[in-house]
Each structure stands twice: as C-alpha cells, then as structure tokens.
Chains A and B, each alone.
Chain A
Amino acid sequence: MYIGEPENPLVPGNTAESEGHQILSGLFTGLVTYGPKTELTWDGVAESMESSDSINWTVKLKDGWTFQDGTPVDAESFVDAWNYTAYSPNGYTNSGFFSNIVGYGDLQAPLGADGKPTGDPAAKEMSGLKVVDPQTFTVELTGPFAQFPITTGYTAFFPLPKAFFADPVAYGKKPIGNGPLQAETEMVPGQGITLARYDDYKGTNKAHADTVEMRVYTDVNTAYLDVQNGSLDIVDTIPPDAITTAPDEFGDRYQEFPSSSFTYMGIPLYQPRFQDKRVRQALSEAIDREAITKAIFNGTREPATDAIAPVVDGYREDACKYCTLDVEDANKKLDEAGFDRSQPIELWFNAGAGHDAWVEAVGNQFKKNLGVDFVLKGDLQFDQYLPLSEEKGFTGPFRLGWSMDYPSPQNYLEPLHSTKAFPPAGSNRAFYSSPEFEDLVKQGNEASSNEDAIKAYQQADDVLLEDMPIIPMFFGLTQTVNSERITHVNVDAFTTVDLAAVEVVNP
C-alpha cells in the first residue's frame, strides 16, 4: 500500500507522525485497542486496568502474549519502554505523553540559563511505575484521570522487547513488535518495508494477507496512477485533481471514512479587538461552512458544528449555536460589541500546506456578510508559524488543526484549551483561560463512569462554544481507492488503514 516517507527509525516512542504510525499499527498491539467506532475495547494486551481513585492504576496483562522474537510481553516490557521514552537524553519526541506519571520530572535533564542541558536527569525510572509481577504493574498519576485506560492505546505506550534495549538503532530498522504483522525486511528510507503475518499472534485481529508491502511515495499523483494501473493496491490519499472522478472510476473500490482531524480558526484573545465574545460569535456566524466544503474541498470535509469530532463518543451534532450561517445576528452582535469595521481582519495560516483557498473564502465571507475587509497572512512555514503563536504574535484569527491521540472528548478539550496547555507546554494558542471550563474538564477527568465523564466534558464543551476562543471549521474525511486484487480496506479515525483486515481476493 501507499505511504508517505516515515520519519525513521520505527520506534513507538519516537514516532509522532501518521506514516510511521501506519506501519507501527500493524507491528504492535497496545494495552487496549479501539473498536470500529473508536470505542475502548479490551482486545489488547491488558486483561484489566483498575483504580479506586483514578490516580493509582493496576494494570494486569493477559497470559501468553509474545513478541515476534518469541520473548514474552510482560510488565517489564511496558515499564522499561515507557521509562526509556520519557528519559530526556534519549531525545524521543513522545516523551511528553508520560508527563502525568509521578516521577516524570526526574527523568528530564536540568537546563541551564542558556537552555542547554547541564547534566543527566536525577533518575532513569519514573517512581510512579512499578512492576509487581511479570503480569502486573502499577501506575501512579499526578492527579485523578479516569480516562487513563483510553490513552494507553496510543503509539507512545506500546511495549518494547529486550532486543530493543540491546541495540536501538538496529531495532529501528527492523522492529520486533507484538502485533498481527511482523517486519520481514528492513525499512529502507525512500522505498519502504514488507510486513508478513505473525502466526503466533494472540490478539483477535489476526492478519489475513500473507504479506503487506508498504511502499513509500513522495508524490501522491504517482501513487494514484499506480493504483489505476493495478500495480499498487491501496491509496489512502486521493490527489485533489482526481477527487471528482475517483468515485465514478473506482465504484465500490472508492470509499470514504470519517477521521478525527479537526480544523479550526483560533482567535488571539490577547488582542483587544477580539476580547468581546460577541465579536468571536459574530465571526463564526458569518461563515458559510457548507459552501466552503462544497466549493473548495469538493465535499471531502464536513462542516464542523462541535469542537469535538464526530468519531468520538460524546460528539453532539449542533452543539455549537454559532456555527451556522446567520448574517443578521452576526451583524447585530458586531454592532452591540462596537466592533471597528473600518480595519481589515488579518487571517493567519501556514504556507505551502494548501490552506490558502479556504482561508481566503472565509475572508470573502467576512467581507460579503459583515462588510469587513480582510488581509491574508500566509507567508510563514509551519515551524515559524508555531513559535509566532507562542509569542502571542498573531494579529487576527489563525488556522490550526488537531488530530486526536486517543478517542476521548478530553483530548479535544484539555490539551487545546486549558490554562496548563498554554504554549509551549500545550496547544492553547488562543490563550483561553476559563475557570468554569477547567472545573468541568476536571470533573470529567475524575468521573467514575464514562457516562458521567462525557456529561461533564459536554458541559465544558458548551462553555467553550459560548466563549468561542476558537471557531470550529471542518471535520476530516479520509478517501481511499483500492485495486481489484483486495477487499476489506478499512480506515479508522486515526486515518490508519487496518492492515490486518485487508484480504487478497485476486492474487
């Protein structure tokens, strides 16, 4: 199947992007797994995860799971992997996922005044992680978090076998996992990797195909030609030019799946001009999302009417009162707030990532519906754009996106809008701070049942959508096409193709 170039090496603790994640998803199975509706399923390695106070968790593992080199998947293989990933001198990008485990701070190197590490961290192991016996370990969190089990299905939490610690570099080329597929070849940068079925896999999601070849492409147009030609089986990104013809050309072999991706316009609350929430509500009401998804995206995205994506349990259609076009109300609100219409609104987005057209469309709607001119500010690359947001450098609404790490409404709220998620620690780039919102999220985190948690998160969501530090824009959809040789192509909300499920019908 088609993939983009992953950022090698293939180690879960150091893989933060979708291409590497796609490969690792076949090689590994985590403590928990997610079902077709991203609900939590216990088809992973964990037998149970229990806690009486949502702080101290006891994780029990199932018997008989092995890595693909025959060694057992035991408590140590999780604890060692997490410690290694969290330990800052290893420089692993997913380190931050363990920051709510007690003792995480001791694994971070002390930094001098010049921002350089001044020595080794105080410890190599988090004190909050303890191996009880080969099948059991305990986790102590820094605060109550009832959603903890849901988070452990994420890549960063995968276990690692002894072989990894012996030679991490060699391991990264040909990882040994515990998933339905094993690496048959080394990963060759620019070319890809071939995976084969792991016959001793203990999980329920056994692989159907004998081998799966992951082929790296730099240009999706080329991959699309190859699938038209039949020399490639799966493409999960359709080139924009082909999107209107693909359904006719491929028929049943063209499919569409909802994804967790969420595009929004953040509002710089630090700018006096946007401090009145009526202004933010008005801007949101002036946007015709339906028209933009049709005209610019050919229907490949969905208008957003909530700040939580539809793929997550807890999503509500029309949770957002101000996310549908209402020109009259928008103008009324702007007048009430005394908004200065003579100054143009500056719209920020990062360059070279295909955002130009839709941001311009938003600007045009402000002009048409509110009589406010706009200026496009789209010259910065993403790695300049983010630092600017941290320095409170945006002068108007700015484009951002989010894809979830684990299927919980919490993942759309706390990392994006809480006070402790102010940059650089988190992604609250609007610098939104609301005690009421924080309190409700905390209630959700501490709730003993999932229903209660969702109820609290939805209330927090309501507060957010009333204050509107962000304007929800679109939810993502993933389109795939496949060759006649295969069936059962399924893409989950993480935009990951379920490699184990793919069946070969016409070899």
Chain B
Amino acid sequence: MGRYIARRLLLTIPVLLGASFLIFAMVYALPGDPIRALAGDRPMSPAVIAELRDRFNLDDPLLVQYGKYLAGVFRGDFGTDFRMRPVLDTIAQRMPVTIRLTVVAIVFETVLGILVGVIAGIKKQSWFDSLTLVMTALIISVPILVLGFLAQYVFGLRLGLFPISGIDRGWYSYLLPGFVLGAGSLAYIARLTRTSLVENLGADFVRTARAKGLRPRVVYTRHTLRNSLIPVVTYIGADIGSLMGGAIVTESVFNLPGIGRAVFQSVQQQEGAVVVGIVTLFVFVYIFFNLVVDILYAVLDPRIRYE
C-alpha cells in the first residue's frame, strides 16, 4: 500500500508539468496585449511599456517564457502578477475562502445526498421517491448562476435568513453559497445512491442475508450500503475538482474573495503566472483526491488490494 501511494505521488510530477505547460501555452495564445490593457485608452510611455514587457518576459518565445517560469518555480519563486503581487500571496490569502466554501458544499451534498438517496432507495416507488426524482431533475437542469440569484433573492433579501454576500459572519456566511454550490452534486449523489442501492437490494447475497433472518437494519447497513457507496465515493472524489470550477461562479455571485474569483480575473487580464499557479494547484487537488478515492475503495471493498 505504501509503495503504491509513493508511486502514484511520483506520477503526479510529470502530470503537473504537462498541465502547467498546457495552461501556460493557452494563456500565451490569448490574443491581445495585457500591458496595453493596464492603462485603458490612455497612451502609455513607450519606455514604460517596454520596461513592463521585459519584466514579465512577454517578448520571449513560448518555450523560453515557460523555461524562465519553471526555473523560478524550482527556486521557490512562483512569480508575480502585473502589479508585482506574489502569486503565492494571492493563493495563501484566497485559498482558505475556497476551502471553506468547498467543505460546506461537500458536507452538505454528501450527508443530505446519501440520506435522501438511501430513503428513496429503500422506499422505492413511494411518494418520497417520486418527489426525489422530480426535484433532483429540476436542480440538475438549473444553472448554478440562476440558482445563486434565486437563493440570494429568497433567503437573503425576502426572508433575511442569510447574508447576501461577503464573509463577515464567519462560517455562517458560507452556508448559502455552499448549498448553492453543492446543490447540483447533491442531486447526482442522491440519484446515484438510490440507483446503486436499488440494484444491490435485488442482488442474491441480499436475498440470502434476508433469508437468514437478519434484521433489515443490518441488511441495509452491513450488506448493501457499503458496496452501494463505491460509485458514490468515486463521484465525490471527482466532484471536489469540479466544485473548484463551480466556485468561480458561486464566488462571483456571493462576492466571496476566493481563489475562483482570482483565477477568473487573472484569465481576463492575461496574468499568465497567476493562472498557471492556481490552475496547477487545482490539478494537484484533483489528482490527490482521486488517489484518496482509490485508497477508499480498498476500505469499502476488501476484495480490492493494491500492491
């Protein structure tokens, strides 16, 4: 197991290099001149433009620019944005916000999603099951942006239950945006859990367990739920990565100063170093949680072994 994890972690290095180069190349390919955009329509001194282009290596070919960037990274210097703010500072300042938001979303979608899915699965074809199917279809089809504004309007403005924006009220501020961010995945998890549970409940070993006279609770928890959760765990692992993407919209709508907003602005301003730094971090998070999921398989299903 230890060797397996070490091998997987070593494999992340080429993946991260490849990913960072691809992102770097994409930012490089964006049309337009980011330095010109700094001053709007006002003319800038040609010497100042030249100075800034030189400072950020903008006149170099792609490979040279990337090489210089990478050389900096190995020295522990992740570069700065065009305003000389270190990229690491930006990440350090904004990451906690996004982590809190993601944690709220994950907890919310996992707990509620599995709960709803289990109830719907057990009470198959009840009114609760039908309601779940209708509601989840509805939530999945509504864009997160619309859901966000709707939540702000209803729970923030009309009912006054939650703050509309900002992070002034600690964890409480993250509840509403976290729910909105997790809502789509919640619906998926509920459906996934239900389907998987229904499937397993019809399996032979469950019939055997029932025939042996085990109490229904033991049948559900010991024999069914555990292996029904394998696809759900896979989904949640992959979802942590996509939640980061959804955070870009959610953070904008709820005005949370997180990493999603930073990456959005940086793409607009063609801040190569910032985009590469943050997105590479996203890639790492994604890889890391996939590894966690793979390890969790072994815990959930004793038949799976890694050597």
Residues of A within 8 A of B (CB): 5, 7-9, 14, 16-17, 88-93, 95-96, 99, 108-109, 111, 114-117, 121, 169, 188-191, 215-219, 221-223, 225-226, 228-229, 231, 380-384, 386-387, 400-402, 405, 415, 421, 423-427
Contact = CB atoms under 8 A, between A and B. Distances in A.
A8 B164 CA distance: 26
Interface string B1-35: 00000000000000000000000000000011110
23 contacts: A5-B265, A7-B38, A7-B83, A16-B42, A88-B47, A93-B39, A96-B42, A96-B44, A111-B46, A116-B50, A189-B93, A190-B93, A190-B257, A190-B262, A219-B253, A222-B165, A223-B255, A225-B157, A226-B164, A226-B166, A387-B36, A401-B41, A427-B42
Nearest to A192: B257
Given A7-B38, A218-B255, A381-B31, A190 B94 contact: yes
Nearest to B97: A190
B42 A169 contact: no
Interface in B163-184: 163-166
A400 B84 contact: no
Contacts of A228: 157
A117 B31 contact: no
A91 B36 contact: no
Interface stretch (B52-60, B198-206, B211-219, B228-236): B52-60
For the complex of A and B, the 7 pairs showing the least CB-CB separation, nearest first, are A190-B257, A383-B32, A88-B47, A108-B47, A383-B37, A95-B45, A384-B32
Contact of B55 (A91, A121, A221, A387): A91
Contacts of B163: 231
B59 A114 contact: yes
A225 B153 contact: yes
Given A189-B90, A190-B94, A95 B156 contact: no
Contacts of B55: 91
Given A9-B84, A109-B51, A225-B164, A115 B59 contact: yes
A219 B248 CA distance: 12
Contacts of A425: 43
B40 interface: yes
Contacts of A381: 31-32
Contact of A92 (B36, B48, B54, B157): B48
A95 B51 CA distance: 12
B112 to A, nearest CB: 26
Nearest to A7: B83
A123 to B, nearest CB: 13
A239 B39 CA distance: 25
A188 B257 contact: yes
A28 B255 CA distance: 28
Given A189-B93, A383-B37, A115 B32 contact: no
Most buried by B among A191, A221, A421: A191
A219 B265 CA distance: 12
Contacts of B40: 16-17
Contacts of A90: 51
B252 interface: yes
Interface of B: 31-34, 36-48, 50-55, 59, 83-85, 90, 93-94, 149, 152-153, 156-157, 160, 163-166, 251-255, 257-258, 261-262, 264-265, 270
Contacts of A115: 50, 53, 59
A109 B41 contact: no
Contacts, number: 156
Contacts of B264: 218
Contacts of A117: 47, 50-51, 54
Nearest to A405: B42
A109 B253 contact: no
Contacts of B32: 381-384, 387
Contacts of B253: 219, 221-222
Given A9-B83, A387-B36, A400 B41 contact: yes
Given A8-B83, A189-B85, A89 B51 contact: yes
Contact of A229 (B46, B149, B160, B251): B160
A229 B164 CA distance: 8
B59 A116 contact: yes
Most buried by A among B41, B149, B152: B41
A20 to B, nearest CB: 10
Nearest to A93: B39
Contacts of A386: 36, 41
A188 B93 contact: yes
A218 B48 contact: no
A225 B50 contact: no
Contacts of A169: 84
A426 B43 contact: yes
A111 B54 CA distance: 11
Given A109-B47, A111-B46, A116 B54 contact: yes
A423 B42 CA distance: 10
A95 B160 contact: no
A216 B261 CA distance: 12
A425 B48 CA distance: 12
A223 B90 CA distance: 23
Given A93-B48, A109-B50, A219 B255 contact: yes
Most buried by B among A96, A189, A216: A189
Contact of A225 (B43, B52, B165): B165
A380 to B, nearest CB: 8
B47 A111 contact: yes
Contact of B43 (A8, A96, A380, A387): A96
Contacts of A16: 38-40, 42
A111 B48 contact: no
Contacts of A93: 38-39, 42, 44, 48
A225 B45 contact: no
A96 B157 contact: no
